[in-house]
């Protein structure tokens, strides 16, 4: 197994240094590859040269028998694709045995789309007479205004927000930078929070973060998730609400309004437009309704 372990280490280092992937993403790849190596060891396969397409298919069947769902098996296959491509690139292998293996077919389950009225209810709930209420209102507004991931939201720094020009600079997955415009409502709420809320929450402590919790530290992802869920319950919304619900609603509302798919891709920070295309089912439904309503033979 030594050659496999060495190749794994080289591949993970390649993802870190050359591809610039985040630590969490690399940890995920490492866990998947470690599981694959255990499978090979159990089947008395000692080198990567002894693997072929039937071995890959047997591994996927083993994952299925162990109770992994289609999405999880698909993720494992994506991990193996990258690993074997790297092995061919490094001339460890001449041919890629994973190339002809297709991803499992599955329907992509998306979070519930919140209507604009439902989002407005949540945004209007925080008590803006208090510092925390000002912070919460600004956070929720920015999350929806820019379609951020929760990890991006909690880590936004003061230096990355430009209220005068109306944009936020975001560092997403793999430390990739993007600039996303924000509207007048978000700018107003952030300005109110900066003037009347943040200084009180900081209590003379210095912090580079825009949204602060205790001792000037950023809020945790779990903390914001609980906060958002509480406001959703108070608003009387029965849909499952997570931070990603607002990101999904952001993309859906833009597409329904006629936004270009590639523009939405850039704002979401998706490297591959096929990732963004999972949102277009909603836009298609919207177009179908418009066709039925306005076309003479709809």
Which residues are annotated as catalytic?
149, 173, 244, 247, 270, 279
Residue 76 Cα to chain centre, angstroms: 18
Q: How far apart are CA 63 and CA 233, in angstroms?
A: 38
Q: By C-alpha distance, which of 226, 198, 225, 228 is closest to 213?
A: 198
User: Who contacts 32 (Cβ-Cβ below 8 Å, separation ≥6)?
Assistant: 75, 76, 79, 80
CB contact at 8 A, 247 and 148: yes
Q: How far apart are the first and last CA of the chain?
A: 63
Q: To 10 degrees, the CA torsion angle through 252, 254, 258, 263?
A: -110
- Judge residue 218's burial from the number of C-beta atoms within 10 Å of its C-beta, 0-12 exposed, 13-18 middle, 19 or more buried: buried
Q: How many CB atoms lie within 10 A of CB 199?
A: 12
Q: In sequence order, what are the beta bridge partners of 170?
A: 178
Q: How far apart are CA 214 and CA 32, in angstroms?
A: 36
Place of tokens 């600039």: 179
Q: How far apart are CA 264 and CA 260, in angstroms?
A: 6
């Amino acid at each position: 197994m030594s050659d496999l372990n060495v190749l794994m280490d080289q591949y993970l280092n390649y993802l870190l240094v050359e591809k610039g992937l985040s630590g969490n993403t690399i940890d995920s790849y490492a866990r998947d590859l470690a599981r694959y190596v255990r499978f090979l060891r159990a089947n008395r396969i000692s080198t990567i040269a002894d693997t072929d397409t039937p071995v890959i298919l047997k591994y996927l069947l083993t994952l299925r028998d162990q109770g992994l769902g289609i999405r999880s098996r698909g993720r494992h296959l994506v991990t193996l694709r990258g690993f074997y491509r790297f092995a061919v690139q490094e001339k460890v292998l001449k041919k890629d045995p994973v190339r002809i293996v297709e991803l499992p077919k599955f329907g992509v389950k998306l979070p519930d789309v919140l209507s604009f009225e439902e989002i407005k209810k949540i945004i209007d709930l925080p008590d803006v007479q208090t510092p925390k209420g000002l912070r919460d209102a600004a956070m929720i507004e920015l999350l929806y205004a820019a379609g951020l991931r929760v990890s991006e939201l909690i880590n936004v720094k003061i230096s990355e927000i430009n209220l005068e020009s109306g944009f936020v600079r975001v560092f997403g997955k793999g430390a990739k930078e993007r600039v996303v415009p924000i509207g007048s409502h978000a700018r107003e709420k952030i300005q109110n929070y900066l003037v009347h809320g943040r200084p009180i929450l900081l209590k003379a402590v210095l912090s580079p973060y825009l949204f602060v919790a205790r001792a000037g530290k950023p809020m945790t992802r779990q903390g914001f998730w609980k906060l958002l869920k509480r406001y959703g319950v108070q608003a009387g919304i029965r849909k499952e609400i997570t931070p990603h619900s607002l990101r999904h609603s952001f993309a859906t509302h833009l597409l329904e309004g006629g936004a270009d798919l590639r523009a939405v891709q850039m704002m979401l920070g998706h490297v591959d437009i096929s990732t963004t295309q999972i949102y277009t089912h909603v836009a298609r439904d919207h177009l179908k309704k418009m066709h039925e309503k306005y076309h003479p033979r709809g």
